[in-house]
Structure 1
Amino acid sequence: MLGNGLLAGHGIAQDVHGAQAAHYEAGKAPEIASGYTAKTGWVAQKYMVVAANPLAVNAGYQMLKQGGSAIDAAIATQMVLGLVEPQSSGIGGGAFMLHFDGKAVQAFDGRETAPAAATEKLFQDANGRPLGFYDAVIGGRAVGVPGVLRMLELAHKQHGKLPWKNLFSPAIQLAENGFAISPRLHTLLQDERFLKRDPIARAYFYDAQGEALPVGHVLKNPDYAKTLKAVAEQGAQAFYAGRIAQDMVDKVHAHAANPGLLSMKDLATYQARVRDAVCGDFEKWTVCGMPPPSSGGIAIVQMLGILENTNIRSLAPLNGVLNPEAVHLFTEAGRLAYADRDRYIADTDFVPLPGNSYQPLLDKKYLASRAALITEKSMGIAKAGTPAGMQLAWGNDQSPELPSTSHMSIVDAEGHTLAMTTSVEDAFGSRQMVDGFLLNNQLTDFSALDKDANGPIANRVQAGKRPRSAMSPTLVFNRGNKQFVLAIGSPGGSAIINYVAKVLIAELDWGLNLQQAIDLPNFGSRNGATELERGRFPDATLDALKAKAHNIRVFDQTSGLHGIARTSVGGHDAWFGAADPRREGVAAGD
């Protein structure tokens, strides 16, 4: 598997034909928020940033143009995303990032943690039953200790080139001078049920009648500017101690119906971590992903390893129409990977993996045995496997993971690169706004139940623990010379794993370019129904899948895949950037 990809020098005529030069176009309006807007991709020679909003992309681009590193650009990009795309990410949330410095891959963990006062009963009622999802989300109960600023500061100390304070200037200027509300932000505000219950958020996002501010309205956020100025001058400590920290704690505790447990000590003691990436080898490629508490790296490498035992490589789409047999194989591999994910993956600082390593779950013989369970008919719901070294019977996690997240991919002039996925969890997080930003609701990524008939649930709530995630920032390398060839990731809740795996199969197995791979219809299974993107599959495909006993669910699947691939222009290395047509993202570079 993964042997036919044309990545390192692939089809440049196909890549560049119609592609835009990747310089920033000031004043260019983002595409509409709903529907599907075709993009041709972007090409740059030196460096590139791809993210979900043109204003955020421009901030990162300006840092690269000033000689900044990929980390510098990521910080500037994230600070603007938190302003212009607050429904998806921000300094009140967390992030995972893979970074390659030309020699080694580092996995930076900025995932939120549960407060010290949290117990495994946090999301249960007096009778031990799980709370309703929004009963848990809205308010302070689900707010975890935000991690993104500590993570970015740690990465900047190791890999930053520009002064820390300079990286906040674009976001501060936009917050003070205002930015035009995008179609996507307006649509989400219009559809949002809970945000206006918070008086600060209501006054900021809505008019006097409670209607969402219109597209193009210039929105200013002086409170966010003040917060960023403090962080720019004093470092992340300004966020984790003092006035801003106290404001967060007060906000979490003050919610009348659903107060939370966050404390000043929780904030003061938060630490970002650097972990070992999860990597798997497949013929010409090495694919690296995020380790626990993200499940993305393990699940994606498992899917690729399972599919390595099938003929999916020979089942490329025809004119953008997916082969029903490819859909069958991909969704069955997903069922098997998600079954293991829901049984075994959690914060490894609290819960050991089988054999105290991810290797048993990625063992080639184990994955071949899992692949052997795939037949001509769908298995419906797969059972978790029994990898070597399993010492404890675990229960099955059923925690919901919702898709309000964002992803950026960046490569700098030195060829150092990163893939960073960043989130507040549900749209607009906990709907609690303080000091110009929204607080996350990441604690609902824990299992509401702490055990089931099979045993304790690995992803149960525990004090100081990081909830399991599906965020899947991914880097691909040439297995032979270790040269970086691809960065990719997406929002999408637990479906992120399927979105990213789709791109890897399409790019590396089927030889599509990165934009074509992203453009393909989304599909997969999270060990339940076979999920197909609405309006993207012909009836013949549905009929073929039904004949294979697939239970089909068709719905909108708004991925936000943003990636960069190595390519070649005129015999010289270059970068090809691609952004999801389902969102407002663009690429920029020189």
Structure 2
Amino acid sequence: MRPAPVLGAVVLTALLAGCGTPTSPTAGLNYQIPAQPEGSSGYTEKPGWATEQFAVAAANPLATDAGYQVLKAGGSAIDAAIAVQMVLGLVEPQSSGIGGGAFLLHAAGSQVLAYDGRETAPAAATENLFLKADGQPMAFHDAVVGGRSVGTPGAVRMLELAHREHGKLPWASLLQPAIQLAEQGFKVSPRLHTLLRSEKFLPGDPVARAYFYGADGQPLPVGTLLKNPAYAQVLRAIAQHGSQALHEGPVAQAIVDKVRNHPTNPGVLSLQDLAGYQPKKRQALCHDWNLPASAPGGAARSYTVCGFPPPSSGAIAVGQILGILGHTPAARMPLGSDGLPSADWLHYYTEAARLAFADRALYVADPDFVQPPGGSWHSLLDHRYLQERARLIGAQSMKVAKPGNPAQFKVGHAPMPEQIEYGTSHISIVDAFGNALAMTTTIEDQFGSRQMVQGFLLNNELTDFSMAPRAADGQPIANRVQPGKRPRSSMAPTLVFDKATGQVIMSAGSPGGAQIIHYTAKTLQGVLGWGLTPQQAINLPNFSSLNGPTLLEAKRFPAATVQALQARGAEVKEQDLTSGLQAITRGEAHGKRFWFGGADPRREGVVMGD
């Protein structure tokens, strides 16, 4: 049974019947294709959900439903995530897939593991990969489109590792939902159609053009039943042989041929790169977040916030922003009477963001290649250091912040110039066994490198490296291209624990390039700082600074807020900030404990569970 939506903290007791035939926990997965809803690509109000035993939140209803059916069949959170990812690669191919990478944060009780499936630079790549003949960096899409930007994919091999350690259902069964949907067809969603309609580069690939567009060159209409037998065939091979079917043999050869034989922008990915790829298990980056009794809510609260360590910058930046805010008057500011963040609170937030992004640009890169300040990434989250950074915030905007030095560290590299980042999808899951996960998954830009191979798209993850390897004075940039290196990411899968009990109380994350950091921080602040449900927190308008202008979600803030920020010296830009947040939190209503779920109204995601 699926729970009815909830609004606020009100739990409706009526449950809607689940799709297909329910399976018993001992029967294994008997996947049934559901009726295929068509969500909006604009802004669609979502009421929120409540479940008692388990929940799954993902960016497309078909993907969420696949995870739901796995959990219903007795699968673990990892099992569900595998099914969700394989379906997302079919129905949301613009964002993630088996041709890309992912960061997965998993909690089994209080044990938190970080599974790194980030793509790696090919062995033949050099730091000059994205430099033109004149020594200047390539324009973003000149670098992206083709084989040059393709990194060694890691999502499938990472999920395989996680499944060996935490799976309950057979690996092959978890690929069945995506195989059936690929063979029998899924309906083109409004969001996929909208992105295809605005896409300039994808039709340049003959394989992608034949799949996504009609004979007239127009994108397939909303509701078109789209089948992908090539993807189904690859998934059948992966179901039988595991990640080896992707990383070796004919599929690997097809990937390499596509990359190296691009007519205008070839890359250097090799069969050896694919065969040799290894996911990594890292220690999650956890820090305490203490809210004083004077904060909204009235009682002191302590949380342990766990995120993904470098090569992701997400956990560090989110932790720095929230930590710096704790040393400012913003820690005691409620939402405004209009239910929105006030201009004063936004001033403190965006100043904290500038400080965090200045540190991010200087320090964060693949830890196998770059040393953290003082030998520990926790130095950037140290209470005294964040207090020192908070003192830099004054009444007027600093406009552009400079990096700090938390451990009097001798810095041997230059800050990375700000670069475009796009893409990704996020999955949050809690299962009936007490496990929770947050997984952010990506092929980077919209439709990745715009190269389609055997039914799936290849990533353009190498453009997450700094295209300029060195500063004007010759100092190297930490996040420059190097063979075997993992590019810096902004992905911020997050799990939050009650510090007193050690119980997981929240899973959250979002797509959105560098804005992921702000979307995730907003949701944590909304739920834990302001006492909102996850849906209410997700619904809040988005806001950010990447250490430049203050960015506000267009048409979501009153003119007085914009003017007040401008009066403080900020350059304010109003623009679309299209998050794709998913969040699940633990809470109580009517004397019972529930999982409350929220999905972003800006995209097509939903939450399901029992």
Tell me which interval the TM-score lies in, with the shorter structure as reference length.
over 0.9
Task: For 2:267 and 2:510, locate their aligned partners in 1 and report how far apart those are by CA, in whole Å.
Answer: 29
Alignment of 1:533-552 (within 5 A): 533-552=553-572
The residue aligned with 1:571 is 591
| Contact 2:586/2:595 (<8 A) preserved | yes
Please tell me the residue identity of whatever aligns with 1:176.
E
1:470 aligns with 2:477: no
Q: Which has the higher contact order (CA 8 A, sep 6+)?
A: 1
The residue aligned with 1:177 is 184
1:498 maps to which of 518, 543, 547 = 518
The residue aligned with 2:476 is 456
Alignment of 1:359-398 (within 5 A): 359-398=378-417
Compared CA separation, residues 392 and 139, structure 1 to 2 (3 A): same
Task: For 1:539 and 1:162, locate their aligned partners in 2 and report how far apart those are by CA, in whole Å.
Answer: 53
SS in structure 1 of the partner of residue 9 of structure 2: helix
The residue aligned with 1:290 is 308
| Contact 1:401/1:425 (<8 A) preserved | no
The residue aligned with 2:426 is 407
The residue aligned with 1:232 is 239
2:131 maps to which of 74, 99, 124 = 124
Alignment of 1:347-358 (within 5 A): 347-358=366-377
| Cα deviation, residue 363, structure 1 | 1.0
The residue aligned with 2:579 is 559
1:346 maps to which of 365, 385, 389 = 365
| Cα deviation, residue 569, structure 1 | 4.1
Task: For 2:89 and 2:574, locate their aligned partners in 1 and report how far apart those are by CA, in whole Å.
Answer: 31
SS in structure 1 of the partner of residue 309 of structure 2: coil
| Contact 1:164/1:232 (<8 A) preserved | yes
Task: For 2:8 and 2:537, locate their aligned partners in 1 and report how far apart those are by CA, in whole Å.
Answer: 13
Compared CA separation, residues 175 and 451, structure 1 to 2 (3 A): same
Task: For 1:335 and 1:313, locate their aligned partners in 2 and report how far apart those are by CA, in whole Å.
Answer: 17
Offset from partner CA, 1:511-542 (integer Å, 9 cap, x none): 11111111000001010000000010110101
2:326 maps to which of 299, 302, 308 = 308
The residue aligned with 1:441 is 460
Task: For 1:146 and 1:20, locate their aligned partners in 2 and report how far apart those are by CA, in whole Å.
Answer: 43
2:35 maps to which of 24, 27, 30 = 27
Task: For 1:399 and 1:516, locate their aligned partners in 2 and report how far apart those are by CA, in whole Å.
Answer: 31
The residue aligned with 2:29 is none
| Contact 2:46/2:599 (<8 A) preserved | yes
Task: For 1:518 and 1:20, locate their aligned partners in 2 and report how far apart those are by CA, in whole Å.
Answer: 24
2:204 maps to which of 197, 200, 203 = 197
Compared CA separation, residues 176 and 529, structure 1 to 2 (3 A): same
The residue aligned with 2:295 is none
| Contact 1:116/1:464 (<8 A) preserved | yes
1:148 maps to which of 151, 155, 177 = 155
Please tell me the residue identity of whatever aligns with 2:105.
L
Please tell me the residue identity of whatever aligns with 2:413.
W
Task: For 2:165 and 2:459, locate their aligned partners in 1 and report how far apart those are by CA, in whole Å.
Answer: 27
| Cα deviation, residue 54, structure 1 | 0.3
1:73 maps to which of 80, 102, 110 = 80
Task: For 1:372 and 1:188, locate their aligned partners in 2 and report how far apart those are by CA, in whole Å.
Answer: 43
Task: For 1:22 and 1:303, locate their aligned partners in 2 and report how far apart those are by CA, in whole Å.
Answer: 40
| Contact 2:38/2:223 (<8 A) preserved | no
1:48 maps to which of 45, 48, 55 = 55
The number of residue pairs the alignment matches comes to 578
| Contact 1:110/1:151 (<8 A) preserved | yes
2:279 maps to which of 262, 272, 277 = 272
| Cα deviation, residue 570, structure 1 | 4.0
| Cα deviation, residue 291, structure 1 | 0.2
Unaligned runs of 5+ in 1: 1-11
Please tell me the residue identity of whatever aligns with 2:333.
L
| Contact 2:8/2:536 (<8 A) preserved | no
1:333 aligns with 2:352: yes
Task: For 1:15 and 1:580, locate their aligned partners in 2 and report how far apart those are by CA, in whole Å.
Answer: 17
SS in structure 1 of the partner of residue 119 of structure 2: coil
The residue aligned with 1:580 is 600
Structure 1 residues 563-572 or 54-63, which shifts more?
Answer: 563-572
2:270 maps to which of 259, 263, 288 = 263
Compared CA separation, residues 69 and 266, structure 1 to 2 (3 A): same
| Cα deviation, residue 313, structure 1 | 3.1
Task: For 1:13 and 1:179, locate their aligned partners in 2 and report how far apart those are by CA, in whole Å.
Answer: 30
SS in structure 2 of the partner of residue 16 of structure 1: coil
Compared CA separation, residues 304 and 24, structure 1 to 2 (3 A): farther
Task: For 1:253 and 1:278, locate their aligned partners in 2 and report how far apart those are by CA, in whole Å.
Answer: 37
SS in structure 2 of the partner of residue 380 of structure 1: coil
SS in structure 1 of the partner of residue 561 of structure 2: helix
Unaligned runs of 5+ in 2: 1-5, 20-33, 291-301
| Cα deviation, residue 30, structure 1 | 3.4
Task: For 1:555 and 1:220, locate their aligned partners in 2 and report how far apart those are by CA, in whole Å.
Answer: 35
| Contact 1:24/1:588 (<8 A) preserved | no
Offset from partner CA, 1:298-338 (integer Å, 9 cap, x none): 11111111011012233222332221111101101000000
| Contact 2:127/2:469 (<8 A) preserved | yes
Task: For 2:38 and 2:400, locate their aligned partners in 1 and report how far apart those are by CA, in whole Å.
Answer: 40
Offset from partner CA, 1:278-304 (integer Å, 9 cap, x none): 111122111111000000011111111
Please tell me the residue identity of whatever aligns with 1:466.
R
1:425 aligns with 2:444: yes
Compared CA separation, residues 23 and 481, structure 1 to 2 (3 A): farther
Structure 1 residues 63-72 or 319-328, which shifts more?
Answer: 319-328
| Contact 1:399/1:444 (<8 A) preserved | no
Compared CA separation, residues 353 and 262, structure 1 to 2 (3 A): same
Task: For 2:179 and 2:109, locate their aligned partners in 1 and report how far apart those are by CA, in whole Å.
Answer: 32
Please tell me the residue identity of whatever aligns with 1:565.
T
SS in structure 2 of the partner of residue 451 of structure 1: coil
Once the two structures are aligned, what percentage of the paired residues are identical?
A: 57
| Contact 1:490/1:562 (<8 A) preserved | yes
SS in structure 1 of the partner of residue 406 of structure 2: coil
SS in structure 2 of the partner of residue 153 of structure 1: helix
| Cα deviation, residue 416, structure 1 | 0.3
Offset from partner CA, 1:132-157 (integer Å, 9 cap, x none): 11110000000000010011000000
| Contact 1:39/1:581 (<8 A) preserved | yes
| Contact 2:7/2:47 (<8 A) preserved | no
Task: For 1:20 and 1:137, locate their aligned partners in 2 and report how far apart those are by CA, in whole Å.
Answer: 49
The residue aligned with 1:322 is 341
Task: For 1:516 and 1:379, locate their aligned partners in 2 and report how far apart those are by CA, in whole Å.
Answer: 31
The residue aligned with 1:524 is 544
The alignment's TM-score, normalised by the length of structure 2, stands at 0.93
| Contact 1:286/1:476 (<8 A) preserved | yes
| Contact 1:506/1:512 (<8 A) preserved | yes
Task: For 2:16 and 2:142, locate their aligned partners in 1 and report how far apart those are by CA, in whole Å.
Answer: 45
Compared CA separation, residues 574 and 176, structure 1 to 2 (3 A): same
Task: For 2:598 and 2:17, locate their aligned partners in 1 and report how far apart those are by CA, in whole Å.
Answer: 14
SS in structure 2 of the partner of residue 15 of structure 1: coil
- Greater than 6 Å deviation, 4+ residue runs: none
SS in structure 2 of the partner of residue 518 of structure 1: helix
Task: For 2:132 and 2:144, locate their aligned partners in 1 and report how far apart those are by CA, in whole Å.
Answer: 14
SS in structure 1 of the partner of residue 399 of structure 2: coil
Task: For 1:101 and 1:476, locate their aligned partners in 2 and report how far apart those are by CA, in whole Å.
Answer: 13
Task: For 1:260 and 1:67, locate their aligned partners in 2 and report how far apart those are by CA, in whole Å.
Answer: 43
| Cα deviation, residue 561, structure 1 | 0.4
Task: For 2:80 and 2:593, locate their aligned partners in 1 and report how far apart those are by CA, in whole Å.
Answer: 21
Compared CA separation, residues 462 and 385, structure 1 to 2 (3 A): same
Structure 1 residues 552-561 or 387-396, which shifts more?
Answer: 387-396
Q: CA RMSD in A?
A: 1.4
The residue aligned with 1:3 is none
Task: For 1:96 and 1:13, locate their aligned partners in 2 and report how far apart those are by CA, in whole Å.
Answer: 31
The residue aligned with 1:512 is 532
